[in-house]
Amino acid sequence: MRIVFMGTPEFAVPSLRALLDEGYNVVGVVTQPDRPKGRKRVLTPPPVKEEALKHGLPVLQPLKMRDPAAAEELALLEPDLVVTAAYGQILPKAVLELPRLGCINVHGSLLPKYRGGAPIQHAVMNGETVTGVTVMYMAAGLDTGDMISRVEVPIEEADTSGTMFDKLAVAGANLLLRTLPEIQAGTITAIPQNHEEATYSPNISRENELIRWDRGSRDIFNQVRGLNPWPVAYTLWNGEVFKIWSCRPGTVMRKPGAETVLPGTVLGLSDAGIEVATADGSVLLTEVQPAGKKAMDAGVFSRGSKLAPGTVLG
């Protein structure tokens, strides 16, 4: 069985590595083009490319997979099966119909929930306690194909999207290995998705990153951990971006009708962090990053900081 692997970020690396470790015949890898990275904008290959080159695999990096020339180049690899994991581009019909065993995708959610480009971040931001991975046949629609197999993974209170990426990447690789023998044998029974139950998780926007202090403490806590380690939630202090890397629900509880302060008001600073008012109480900021500085412990930041109780963030 000749396999072409298509993937781009760290999430996809365990799946590629698992295929190679188990002796599957990976005949080529398709990934996104190298991109400028960091302050110096150094052209950097995606993690999947780095892994592929370690194993001497041919790598294709078409700018657009919809370009007919890209499909023709892929066809030269004569794949029996295409395996994708967070590749980052929608595959055209010419590619979907190319391999005799089809194209399958390792998707980081329990479909049909959280279709789209940022399922893991949105699951954490929405306060889900369980998510998972689905291996599915790819179809023309966005994550609409029939499901082959899936596995649940709990989201713990301490998890961020970063820890969930790691957990789901490993779970996806293991699920892929359990699924492939049946695909190869032609004994798989795929299950259509219930499209009426579908939800969507678009790529993270700048609007998603801005903390609205008029939301509940739990919602803000979930937003912050859902955007850690990238792109990181933020508020504004003196008109500048003030990133919030981590927080937890605070000690203040607000009762309906009780005297309130404006959401976003700094209630206090201590070695434990910075307590900020929300719609229903407070959150304690525990790791922050002022503009132009590195991320730091909020308690350390509080010592000698010009941020004072009564300041309104946002």
- Measured CA to CA, the distance from residue 278 to residue 250 in angstroms comes to 9
Q: In this structure, what token pair is assigned to residue 206? A: 């700048």
- The answer to whether 179 and 149 are in contact (CB under 8 A) is yes
- Measured CA to CA, the distance from residue 246 to residue 135 in angstroms comes to 32
Parts of the chain with a pLDDT under 70: 253-259
pLDDT digits (tens, 9 = 90+) for 265-301: 999 999 999 999 999 899 999 999 999 999 999 999 9
**In the chain, what are the domains?**
2-197 (3.40.50.170), 206-312 (3.10.25.10)
The answer to whether 111 is a known ligand-binding residue is yes
- Measured CA to CA, the distance from residue 272 to residue 265 in angstroms comes to 17
The answer to whether 110 is a known ligand-binding residue is yes
The answer to whether 285 is a known ligand-binding residue is no
Q: In this structure, what token pair is assigned to residue 194? A: 């219930």
- For 288, the 3-state DSSP assignment is strand
- What kind and span of H or E run contains 275? strand 273-277
pLDDT digits (tens, 9 = 90+) for 127-157: 999 999 999 999 998 899 999 999 999 999 9
pLDDT of residue 254: 66
